[in-house]
Amino acid sequence: MNDSLFQDAKQQLNDAAKYVSISDDTIERLKEPKSRLIVSIPVRMDNGELKVFKGYRVRYDDTRGPTKGGIRFHPNVSIDEVDSLAFWMTFKCAVLKLPFGGAKGGITVDPKKLTRFELDRLSRGYINAIADFIGPDVDIPAPDMYTNPMIMGWMMDQYSIIQRKIVPAVITGKPVSMGGSLGRKTATAMGVFFVMQSLIPKFTKSGKKITVAIQGFGNVGSNLADLLYQAGYQVMAVSDETGGIYSAMGLDIPYIKGFKESTRDLKEVYAKGSVRELMGYEHISNDDLLKLDVDVLVPAALENQITCENAADIRAKVIVEAANGPITREAEKVLEQRGIPVVPDILANAGGVTVSYFEWVQNRMGHYWSEEKIHGLLKEKMTEETRMMWDIATSKNIPMRTAAYVHALNRIEQAVNARGTKVYYTGVDKKGEDV
């Protein structure tokens, strides 16, 4: 993981601040996370050995409400990465007008090397370590990379054991039978889909079948590919961590998705089958996929996939960030110079946290909505915020990422002002004039 990821992320704040009138108080509050927690998690392995894993939880800013953000299990998880993800979550929640601040968590581990029993003990051990740091009115975790409803269920169950009462609202993304929301599993992909439906026609010719390449075939990438396929898009390439497959005629996404899901080793935990095992398609590398001549490129994997080394070779007409931070700051400058627009992550992949918000609301009410209602509410929210972001981008003639941050900053500023700023207490504005 790039040690400068967090510093790189914060530059986006500086870019947006040039286009919006905000107080020094707001900028000062957003410079650093409100709180960080680093924990050691001892786990008794199945062979009797004791291993200690490192875990993290960062609450970035709670000006707009309790913090919200996922938990990821990955070998490259670091405090720098978690800081960055919590920073992005702060703006993502503000862009979607959710009453949350941003947070993130993770454990440095290769979860595919653990058995089910070890994964259960690790998940519960993490909650034991951070239980005083989270809560329905403080910080609400959710699934992220290599975590899923089952793991969220274990975590909610462990928190409830500690509290000696059932607390479904402490964690979202749970199994429906444990208070989870219908529509949560596909929420991130569906949010990306609604954003694409709103924006892609602005960059492509009408009547033309839109071609797409998707890097990453996990929960988000596979479900997005399926939604796009059903809507008539031509998905030409997909990939996972082992590489990808390509067809100039378009891929049979339902078949590929079914293959990936049917080759699970730890059922309901991780899909281990690779899309490269499919016969009849051309094998390509992840780097090759990024350089395909398609209308839309969707990075849906890890951070920093498009860098200054490969940005000049990108041939897509538009990039939609389904992953968090897939484009480095330097690479984005290259893309901007080449006229390749980027739909930013803090808008495009916000469907997950939006439905997590719906789940939290349902848990607090004790009343649950139909999947049809969830989809309708998600579409309405994603479409409206996309329109508002686009209006800012076009009126100010700025990139969509900057416009999204401007949109979010306006909302964060309102919450900061409500508490009183330097201008309020001194009666003097930035120009030294009385107000």
- Any idea which residues carry the catalytic annotation? 104
Percent composition of the chain: helix, strand, coil (DSSP 3-state, to 5): 45, 20, 35
Pairwise CA distance, residues 235 & 214, whole Å: 8
* DSSP state letter for 31: S
Pairwise CA distance, residues 332 & 338, whole Å: 10
Pairwise CA distance, residues 364 & 370, whole Å: 16
- 20 phi, psi to nearest 5 deg: -145, 145
Pairwise CA distance, residues 320 & 327, whole Å: 10
Assess contact for 171 and 97: CB atoms under 8 A: no
* DSSP state letter for 141: E
Assess contact for 223 and 189: CB atoms under 8 A: yes
What is the SS3 assignment for 319? Answer: strand
Pairwise CA distance, residues 133 & 78, whole Å: 18
* DSSP state letter for 280: T
DSSP string, 354-373: HHHHHHHHHHHHT----HHH
Pairwise CA distance, residues 425 & 406, whole Å: 25
Neighbours of 197 (CB within 10 A): 16
Pairwise CA distance, residues 191 & 353, whole Å: 10
Handedness of CA 285, 85, 25, 407 (dihedral sign): positive
Pairwise CA distance, residues 198 & 210, whole Å: 14
Pairwise CA distance, residues 401 & 335, whole Å: 13
